Structure 1
Amino acid sequence: MMLDGKHALVTGGGTGIGLAIARALAEQGAQVTITGRRAGVLEEVAGNGLHPLVMDVAEEASVVDGVAAAVAARGPVQICVPNAGIAEGLSLRKMDLAFWRRTMATNLDGAFLTIRECMTSMSETDWGRVIAVSSIAGVRGLRGAPAYTASKHGLIGLIRALSEEYLGTGYTFNALCPGYVATDIVTRNQESISERTGMSAEDALQIMVKANRHRKLLEVEEISAAALWLCGPGSQSVNGQTIQIAGGQM
C-alpha cells in the first residue's frame, strides 16, 4: 500500500469529510491520528489504523500538546489535513465580534496552529503533504456567511504562502474546495435555514443542492479521493492549488 509507514493527522477526523479522508488514508496503509473535541465520537470510529486524540484546534496549548503526543506515539506527521471547521451562516448586521472571532479561531487559527506544529516533525523527513479542507466559499463569496467566507479565503491564502515558502522541497501544500457535501453540516444548515425563513425543510435543502453546479449534493468519498490523489505518485508538482469539487465551473 502506497502510504505504508506514513503518519497522518486529520483534525475533525471523527465525522464527515474528515472521517472519510482518514479512512481513505488508513486503507492505503497510513497510521492516522484523528482529532476532535468529543472523545466519544472519536472512539466510536477508532480502529483499523485510526487513532483518537482529543484536541481543540482553537486552543494553542491543546494543539501543541496534542500533536506532540501523536508524534511521540506514531512518529513524524507526514500528511497533515487541517479539516476541522465551523460552517455557520450569519449576516453582517446580525454578527457580533464573538461570533466572528469564534469562526476565525477554529477555521483559520486552528489550521495555522495544526500546520505549524505538524511541520515541526514533517521537516525531519524528506516528504510531506499538507491538504487543507477549505470550501467553494474560499474562492467566491457565500451570501449570508461573511465570517465563514473570510475564514476560508484566509485558509487558501495561508496554503498559497506556504507552498511558496517550501517551494522545491519534498512538501506540497494544497486546498480542497468542496461545495455542499452530504454530511451533518448540511443537515444542520437545512434546519437553520428552515427556522430562520419559515420555508419547508425540503425547500431549505434545495437551496444548497442548487448551489452545486450539477444540482446534487457531493458525497464524502469524492473529497477523500482527491486527498488520496494528492498523496499518491505523480502529484509531486501539484502545489499551491485550490482544487474545486463542486459539480462544474465556478
Structure 2
Amino acid sequence: MLNSRHALITGAGAGIGAAIALTLAQAGCRLTLFSRSQDKLQAQAEVLRQQVPDVAVFIAPMDVGDEQSVQVAVQQAQARFGPVNILVNSAGQAQSQPFAKTDAALWHQMINVNLTGTYHCIQAVLSGMLEAANSGTPGRIINIASTAGLKGYAYVSAYVAAKHGVVGLTKALALELARKGVTVNAICPGYTETDIVREAVQNIMAKTGKNEAQAGQALAAGNPQQRLVQAHEVAQSVLWLCAPGSDALNGQAIGIDGGELAG
C-alpha cells in the first residue's frame, strides 16, 4: 500500500508510536524511529524485524525538544532513506498537577515536549517532503494530539494547553500546504492503554488510595464504551490518513475516544 515511503515516527520506542511503527512497516514503509531511549529503539527495531522480516529500519536517539538534536537526526535519516514522506509526531509527556502547583518548569516542559517538539520535527522534514510531493509522492504530517486538544481536563492544564496548541498548529499548517501535495491532520485519542496512562493510574492510586482496578476504571469512565482505547486502534487511523484516496482529509482533528467528544 505504501511501498518504499519513508515514514518517520517520534516516540516510537513504546506505546502508540510503537504500534504505528508496526502498522506502517506492514504497509511497506521504510521506517525511521525516534525516541530518547536507545535501548527502547533497539528493542522495537528487533520486534519489527521479527514481525516484518523485510522491513528497513533506521533508529536515532534524540530529544524532540532540542532543535539541534532533531536537525542532526533528521539529516541522518534522510541520508539513509531520502526525504521523509510521512511524519508522525507521537512523542509526548503528561504530568498532573493542580494549576496552583504548576510551576514554570512543569509548564515549559509540557509545552516543549508536546508542542515545540512537534514544531521542531515538522520544520526539519518539511522542505524535503515538499520536494518529494512536487515530484509526485504525497506528504503526510500526522500529529498525535489528544482529546485534551479538543476539551479541558482538570489538573493537567499545561498538557491541555500544549495539545490545544498542536491542534491549532495542525489546522494552520493544513491551510498553508493544501495546494502543495501535503496534508496535515491530528489524531486525538482518549485515554489509551500506554505507559503514560499506567503512570496516571499509579498517580491516582497514590493520591486517592484507590486500587489499580479502581484507578483504571476512573480513567475509562469518560469513554462511553467504558474502556481504554488501544494503541493499535490509533495506529489504524494513522494508516487510513496515509493510504491512497486520503487526499481530501486535511486539517482534521479526529477523536479516537469511543464517543467521548460526542457528548
TM-score, normalized by the shorter chain, greater than 0.5:
yes
| Partner secondary structure for residue 123 of structure 1 | helix
Offset, 1:190: 0.2
After superposing the two structures, state which structure 1 stretch, 118-127 or 129-138, moved more.
118-127
Query: 1:61-88: CA deviations, max 9, x gaps?
Result: 0001111110011100000001100022
Offset, 1:201: 2.0
Determine the C-alpha separation between the residues in 2 that align with 1:144 and 1:207.
15
User: Is structure 2 residue 94 aligned with structure 1 residue 83?
Assistant: no
Question: What is the match of residue 73 of structure 1?
Answer: 80
After superposing the two structures, state which structure 1 stretch, 157-166 or 85-94, moved more.
85-94
Question: What is the match of residue 26 of structure 1?
Answer: 25
Query: 1:155-210: CA deviations, max 9, x gaps?
Result: 00001000011112210000000001111111111001111222222221111111
Determine the C-alpha separation between the residues in 1 that align with 2:223 and 2:154.
14
User: Is structure 2 residue 256 aligned with structure 1 residue 241?
Assistant: no
Determine the C-alpha separation between the residues in 2 that align with 1:123 and 1:158.
18
Question: What is the match of residue 197 of structure 2?
Answer: 186
User: Is structure 2 residue 66 aligned with structure 1 residue 59?
Assistant: yes
| Partner secondary structure for residue 201 of structure 2 | helix
For residues 81-160 of structure 1, the aligned pairs below 5 Å read 81-126=88-133, 127-160=138-171
Offset, 1:213: 2.0
Which amino acid in the other structure matches residue 67 of structure 1?
V
Determine the C-alpha separation between the residues in 1 that align with 2:145 and 2:129.
21
Query: 1:75-121: CA deviations, max 9, x gaps?
Result: 00000001100022111011100000011110000000001111121
Determine the C-alpha separation between the residues in 2 that align with 1:146 and 1:38.
27
| Partner secondary structure for residue 126 of structure 2 | helix
Percent identity for Structure 1 against Structure 2: 40
Offset, 1:124: 1.2
Question: What is the match of residue 52 of structure 2?
Answer: none
Which amino acid in the other structure matches residue 157 of structure 1?
G
Which amino acid in the other structure matches residue 20 of structure 2?
I
Determine the C-alpha separation between the residues in 2 that align with 1:10 and 1:21.
8
CA RMSD of aligned residues (A): 1.0
Q: Which runs of 5+ in 2 are unaligned?
A: 50-54
Determine the C-alpha separation between the residues in 1 that align with 2:99 and 2:107.
10
| Partner secondary structure for residue 244 of structure 1 | strand
User: Does the Cα contact within 8 Å between 2:130 and 2:181 map onto a contact in 1?
Assistant: no
User: Does the Cα contact within 8 Å between 1:180 and 1:246 map onto a contact in 2?
Assistant: yes
Question: What is the match of residue 209 of structure 1?
Answer: 220
Determine the C-alpha separation between the residues in 2 that align with 1:169 and 1:113.
20
Question: What is the match of residue 222 of structure 1?
Answer: 233
Which amino acid in the other structure matches residue 155 of structure 2?
G
Determine the C-alpha separation between the residues in 1 that align with 2:57 and 2:160.
31
User: Does the Cα contact within 8 Å between 1:130 and 1:172 map onto a contact in 2?
Assistant: yes
**Runs of 4+, deviation exceeding 4 Å:** none
Aligned length: 249
Determine the C-alpha separation between the residues in 2 that align with 1:51 and 1:193.
37
- TM-score (ref. length: structure 2): 0.92
